[in-house]
Structure 1
């Protein structure tokens, strides 16, 4: 789309959780460091929470890439909407138990236990990462706790990291989960970005995407972007992408406040008066349509040709009526 216009190799603000674009901001780096240290120490349960769009999945992917595969056996469950049996079978598949789908429940649990013991004897720890953990059904969450009962005299056989939205705290706050709460030895709450962190975030992603030039976003544009998105990385990506689209459509590389305003007008979930009244439908796309029209003018005229005589006749008829 606009990569060549801005001198980019790839799209800088894609919503795909690509760890190459992860910005090592203090909060995210601190959280990653905590995870690495806690897992090295063999802690049982770790909980990472944060609002929608604050980078939990990206952090989960970064953790997967950071752990030593020789030291840790990793099991990743991205969709936790499972029954207790479904969770156990998902864990068994991640542990590469080829007979997982054919075993009965008791035999399956015994096979998981045996595999974990084998890993422990080989000096490896098993880490289960669960994304979107707030979606775990209550019975499945209890089954997860029972899985962590598997242990030797010296260490837990299974370590669990829960990544979830703040609703996860509400779930764990239930009386029935008091035993599980006591097993959470470390927890961390991801926060939104603030001030200069947003500018650093934008510049880092642009640089990774190949941009090498002066700052694209004006100061006033950055302030409005911070206000409208509340520092939520996912919203920052959406609005910044749309602002670049507007700049491309207008043939202007520098992004002023007005381009960010137009992007905010076209985006759900932003706050404040910036999103109160869109100036027109398809606001962000309008500038892009202008650029594409100039580029594809002959093809567009051919497409419009069937309607042109009708429009002309209508105008001519209107002129005759006014002449009367």
Structure 2
């Protein structure tokens, strides 16, 4: 809606994981380096944690692009599973055939035996195997214990299955429990992905705008960038949400510069942040007009510009 107004070829702050917008901060590079070290190591567990929206999935996608050619990868993105369901999913991801002989329901052994054979056979021909589990904070204690048991299969040099656990900070707390101490001792690499610094937030915003075709001055002034960093806490997904709504807000009033007051209003609409005038939060007082302050204004501004025949492409 606002892209042409700011001289952009596309809207720059979508929360979709578009690889064209990839921004690698020093922290993201370190996280990737830890994962690659673990995957190329001697087996066991590798741990990546971070806040919601910090970029863990982005790092995971980069990992998948850089795993060795002779490495088989199984990726589980919904780990709210029982032990049997998890083993079945792992077999499916690796393309391992399995069957349940006889009557009754399938058992752990029906999946575990063919999985173990697969690990031995692939190791014999020089292949390695990596199991990546996203949202791993949702794993139950029983499933975590079964994962630990999977890493028992080993040679004199290495374990035959490398497991990468990616999750929110609660995952670290889970692995600190006494009953999971044996698993925690098998973690050979771990990294907690911190949020962006204020400088990195500015670099992130500039990067996404440049990819979107910006060839003029940054539409955010220094104070607004500082406010964006403060309100987003440096979390990339929150930065995207806030910048997108702030640009829409500026567009709705015909402003080519996003100032702090626009960012504050955008934050109240996106994050429901309280203000001194309204400690309970702007949205709680105006539930019937959710988002209309910026979206409705944008529509009116667009209509007025069309009637005047001025269009939205000129910088003004």
* TM-score normalised according to structure 2 size: 0.85
1:5 positional shift: 2.2
Which residue in the other structure is 2:60 paired with? 60
Aligned-partner SS, 1:266: helix
Equivalent residue number for residue 18 of structure 2? 18
- Separation of aligned partners in 2, 1:212 and 1:101: 62
The verdict on how the C-alpha distance between 1:249 and 1:17 changes in structure 2, with shifts beyond 3 A counting, is same
Whether 1:42 and 2:42 are equivalent positions in the alignment is: yes
What are the Cα deviations for residues 276-303 of structure 1, in whole angstroms up to 9, with x where unaligned? 4429745754243234235458xxxxxx
More helix by share: 1
For residues 168-207 of structure 1, give each alpha carbon's deviation from its aligned partner in whole angstroms, at most 9, with x where no partner exists. 1221111111100100011111111112110001111222
Cα distance in 1 between the residues matched to 2:301 and 2:275? 35
2:83 matched residue in structure 1: 84
Q: Verify the 8 A CA contact 1:148 1:156 in the aligned structure 2.
A: yes
SS in 2 for 1:74: strand
1:74 match: 73
- List aligned pairs for 1:1-324, cutoff 5 A: 1-68=1-68, 70-99=69-98, 104-268=107-271, 276=279, 277-278=281-282, 281=286, 282=289, 285-293=292-300, 295-296=302-303
What is the DSSP-based 3-state SS (H/G/I as helix, E as strand, rest coil) of the residue aligned with 2:47? strand
- Cα 1:62–1:270 change in 2 (3 A) is farther
Q: Distance in 1 between matches of 2:119 and 2:62?
A: 24
Moved more, 249-258 or 235-244: 249-258
For the residue of structure 2 that corresponds to 1:188, the secondary structure is strand
Using the alignment, how far apart are the partners of 2:248 and 2:13 within structure 1? 12
Structure 2: state its 5+ residue gaps. Answer: 305-316
Which whole-Å CA distance do the structure 1 matches of 2:83 and 2:36 have between them?
A: 28
**Contact 2:202/2:225, CA 8 A, preserved across alignment:** yes
**Structure 1 CA distance, aligned partners of 2:181 and 2:273?**
36
| Residues 67 and 237 of structure 1, relative CA distance in 2, 3 Å threshold | same
User: 1:66, 1:182 → 2: CA distance?
Assistant: 26
Q: Which has the higher contact order (CA 8 A, sep 6+)?
A: 2
Checking the alignment, whether the CA contact within 8 Å between 1:249 and 1:288 is kept in structure 2 is yes
CA distance in 2 between partners of 1:274 and 1:154 (Å): 65
In structure 2, C-alpha distance between the alignment counterparts of 1:210 and 1:275, rounded to whole Å = 38
Contact 2:48 2:193 survives alignment (8 Å): yes
Higher mean alpha-carbon deviation, 220-229 vs 208-217, is at 208-217
Alpha-carbon RMSD across the aligned residues, in angstroms, is 2.4
| Count of equivalent residues | 296
